[in-house]
Chains A and B, each alone.
Chain A
Amino acid sequence: MEQFYVFLQQLINGVSLGSIYALIALGYTMVYGIIKLINFAHGDIYMMGAFIAYFSVSYFHLGFLSALLISMAACTVLGVLIERIAYKPLRGATRIAALITAIGMSFFLEYVMVFFVGAQSRAFPNVLPALRIEFFGGKVFITGKELLIYGVTLFLVVLLQFIVRKTKTGKAMRAVAFDREAAMLMGINIDYTISATFALGSALAGAAGVLVGIYYSAVNPLMGMTPGLKAFVAAVLGGIGIIPGAALGGMLMGLIETFVIAYGQSTYRDAVAFAILILILLVKPSGILGTNVREKV
């Protein structure tokens, strides 16, 4: 029974981590779907989200909800600005040039933050009332932080799905991702649609940043690097360009990582994530939910 409790507890932790990965992976997958760019700066937008929430909570003493909304709004603006300034001029260039620009943008955000706030970790103030729901006589418990992460993630994923499936902008996004030129010929404003995609993706990354700040109670300027890479892996795992795939991939990634830490060696956590990625790519490169596209000549 003891084993079972440990398993349940790890499941709860894994879903929290998975939710955060899922939120970041969604932005990756949307941007990749629409302009075929691995947006390396995405992980750093998530870091910026965490910092904006940190500043609004510790210096302006705002509550959780307003901090979350401010972070999401600021990240939206940041994401759109990055796209306009750095990626738009390169839309006609080779993909590798765009990739290097994205890496440059990532360095830029990271080290601007290091310059202004220092590289050391800062403690994220506690904004939630201490809540702890216990099961099986306290052997398994779920905290308010975790419930909040589940709730916010679920809400945002459903909202995103609604925007992409039911609104006109969402339809335009899907059209541009499917065939940009045909979409342009149908009178869809490409620039606006791509900006909207960055806006949505960045808002989600901002939310993920706030949640991670609350969950781990710490923020630092380089926190975006590894989760960013892993979230991209998660997006590939689920099938890149597919929104439910990113959510699924993120969740799996979080669970796998948590269980590796719990049952294996925690130092191998990063290696396992990438090893799984390589395996998935070998067996089914289009990802779990992807369909194989036949190559046309």
Chain B
Amino acid sequence: MKKLLSKKNLAILLGVLLLYGVIQALISLGVLRTFHQVNLITICISVIMAVSLNLITGFTGQLTLGHAGFMAVGAYFSAVMTVKWGMYFPVSIFCGAVLAAVSGALIGLPTLRLKGDYLAIATLGFGEVIRVVLLNTKYVGGAAGLFGIPRLMNWTWVFFAAVITVVVIRNLLWSSYGRACISVREDEVAAELMGIDITHYKVLAFSVGAFFAGLGGGIYAHYFYGLQPGTFGFMKSIDYLVMVVLGGLGSVTGSILAAVVLTLINVVLQQFSAIRMILYALLLILIMIFRPQGLMGSKEASLELFRKLGRRSGHGSLGSK
């Protein structure tokens, strides 16, 4: 208990509650209008997706290009449960996430024997198969999409879902499970020789990552009224992968930072809709050429890091934790 209530943890808790409180107050006062709220929710969903993908790709070293596929599973299943079976929505979102985790394990067991780019292509294939199956399933609306989902999500739900995702994944990574996952990334053969069951940890990372991707999908479904199979295509997976790589593979805070920054950049670029994608593409290329390890590398933003930065450049603020 002493450790749990350390100064550092209390400071973080306070910071998180403060962030929530300030934004909730601004929403209640009507300062942040629907436009801002949509972007805040999108940021939180991006954080959930990027952190969960970082667990798979950044920490366990398994490159996957099908993360949006898990998101689709969670989104569609939870939407069907809420709309067609009349379930209470937290239950349906949770069930959607569980189903995504199960599909993650099912996909993971056979495909995780593959390495590197082969795994990437297999997961890409999986994501596309899910999309096409949804496209052809009449029950969930097919190509037209599934509509009429009530907007049951609000800032409170989504913010705390994101916080819980980050806390769970962070604690998982800082446990013996996390160390085992990192050892799989560093050297599979060496890890195996040390008695680590590689497949076990890969599947674990895959299903936990898929669970939170499913959660992100469920939230998406219950905020944006409708779902279309095209939303969860290859491009969506790439969007989240870009966040992970940009933030730094193996840095939770990096993923959060990149999710916030990239979502905001997208919002800003919307004003220049004609050249939005060109600028986005150039940004990607330039960042990768000049900083291939991502914004944070494998470091975590911490009070220590701020102190160091502060000593060097007067002050350095990197936004929210």
Using a CB–CB cutoff of 8 Å, the interface residues on chain A facing chain B are 32, 36, 38, 86, 89-90, 93-101, 103-108, 110-112, 114-115, 229, 232-233, 236, 240, 265, 267-268, 270-271, 274-275, 277-278, 281-282, 285, 295, 297
Contact = CB atoms under 8 A, between A and B. Distances in A.
Contacts of A115: 274-275, 278
Nearest to A225: B234
Interface string B112-147: 011011101110111011001101100000000000
A271 B275 CA distance: 32
B33 to A, nearest CB: 30
B133 A271 contact: yes
A229 B234 contact: yes
A229 B189 CA distance: 31
28 contacts: A36-B117, A96-B57, A97-B245, A97-B292, A100-B284, A101-B289, A103-B238, A104-B281, A104-B282, A105-B285, A107-B278, A107-B281, A111-B275, A114-B277, A115-B274, A233-B125, A236-B118, A240-B117, A267-B136, A270-B132, A271-B133, A274-B128, A275-B125, A277-B121, A277-B125, A281-B114, A285-B114, A295-B189
Tell which of B189, B274, B277 has the most Cβ of chain A within 10 Å.
B277
A267 B249 CA distance: 36
Contacts of A265: 136
B289 to A, nearest CB: 5
Contacts of A111: 275-278, 281
Contacts of B118: 236, 281, 285
Interface in B205-236: 234
Nearest to B193: A297
Interface of B: 57, 63, 110-111, 113-114, 116-118, 120-122, 124-126, 128-129, 132-133, 135-136, 189, 234, 238, 241-242, 245-246, 249, 274-278, 280-285, 288-289, 292-293
Given A96-B245, A229-B124, A89 B289 contact: yes
A278 B66 CA distance: 13
Nearest to B135: A267
B129 A94 contact: no
A114 B278 CA distance: 10
Given A233-B121, A236-B121, A267-B132, A96 B63 contact: yes
The 9 closest A-B CB pairs, nearest first, are A104-B284, A274-B125, A271-B132, A93-B292, A111-B277, A108-B281, A107-B281, A97-B292, A104-B285
A101 B285 contact: yes
A107 to B, nearest CB: 4
A90 B289 contact: yes
Given A236-B118, A277-B121, A97 B288 contact: yes
B111 A282 contact: yes
Contacts of B289: 86, 89-90, 101
Given A96-B63, A100-B241, A274 B124 contact: yes
Nearest to B246: A100
Contacts of B57: 96
Given A86-B289, A111-B275, 13 more contacts: A90-B289, A93-B292, A93-B293, A97-B245, A103-B284, A110-B277, A229-B124, A233-B125, A265-B136, A277-B121, A277-B122, A281-B118, A282-B113
A277 B275 CA distance: 35
A234 to B, nearest CB: 11
Nearest to B61: A96
Contacts of A38: 117, 120-121
Contacts of B114: 281, 285
